[in-house]
């Protein structure tokens, strides 16, 4: 294959995907914790459950929650299924997730 002679050198094509990155704003923070419904999402990796137990104990010592929802992902290597995210969004004002390992 002949080399290209452009006079100024070689013209090459960039190998990277040229994506426009979508910007997702953070969810609104709550100003009051008492009286809220809280969820705990365990990503199912080793010791995520232990971290969440400690956090749940610490939070429930200091605050009152009207409901506690505990869920565990099937695969820690995949995003949570949309139905699980929807359920937590529906049932809770606050969700704490932990990544084990």
Partner 1 sequence: MQTVALRSRRIEATDHLEAVELFFSRGWTDGLPIVPPTEERVEAMLQALDRDPGEIVGILAPRYGKATLEKIAINAVMAGCQPAHFPVVVVAIEAIADDEFNLNGVQSTTHVAAPLLIINGPVRHALEINAGANCFGQGFRANATIGRAVRLCMINIGGGVPGVTDKATFGHPGKYTYCVAENEEASPWEPLHVERDFRPDQSTVTVFAAEAPHNVSDHTSRSARGVLTTVADTMATMGNNNMYKRGEMGVVIGPEHAATIAAEGWSKQDVKAFLFQEARRPLGDLTRGGEYYGEVTWEKYWPRWIDRNDPSALIPVVDNPEDFLVIVAGGSAGRFSLVIPGWGDHGTRAVTKVIPFQDSNECRDGTCKA
Q: Indicate the residue among 51 and 94 with the shorter CB distance to partner 1.
A: 51
Backbone angles phi, psi at 48, to 5 degrees: -60, -35
Q: How far apart are CA 32 and CA 38, in angstroms?
A: 12
Smallest distance from the beta carbon of 31 to partner 1, in angstroms?
A: 34
Sign of the Cα pseudo-torsion (9, 13, 19, 20, in order):
positive
Q: Indicate the residue among 13 and 28 with the shorter CB distance to partner 1.
A: 13
Q: In the complex, which residues of this chain contact partner 1 (CB under 8 A)?
A: 1-4, 6, 8-19, 44, 46, 49, 74-79, 101
Q: Indicate the residue among 9 and 32 with the shorter CB distance to partner 1.
A: 9
For 59, residues 6+ apart whose C-beta sits below 8 A from its C-beta are 33, 38, 65, 96
Smallest distance from the beta carbon of 11 to partner 1, in angstroms?
A: 5
Smallest distance from the beta carbon of 100 to partner 1, in angstroms?
A: 9
């Amino acid at each position: 294959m002949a080399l290209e002679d452009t006079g100024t050198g070689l013209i090459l094509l960039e190998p990277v995907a040229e994506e426009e990155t979508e910007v997702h704003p953070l969810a609104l923070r709550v100003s009051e914790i008492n009286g809220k419904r809280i969820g705990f999402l365990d990503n199912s990796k080793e010791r995520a459950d232990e971290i969440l137990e400690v956090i749940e104990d610490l939070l429930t010592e200091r605050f009152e929650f009207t409901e506690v929802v505990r869920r565990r992902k099937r695969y820690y290597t995949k995003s949570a299924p949309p139905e699980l995210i929807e359920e937590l969004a529906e049932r809770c004002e606050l969700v704490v997730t932990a990544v084990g390992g």
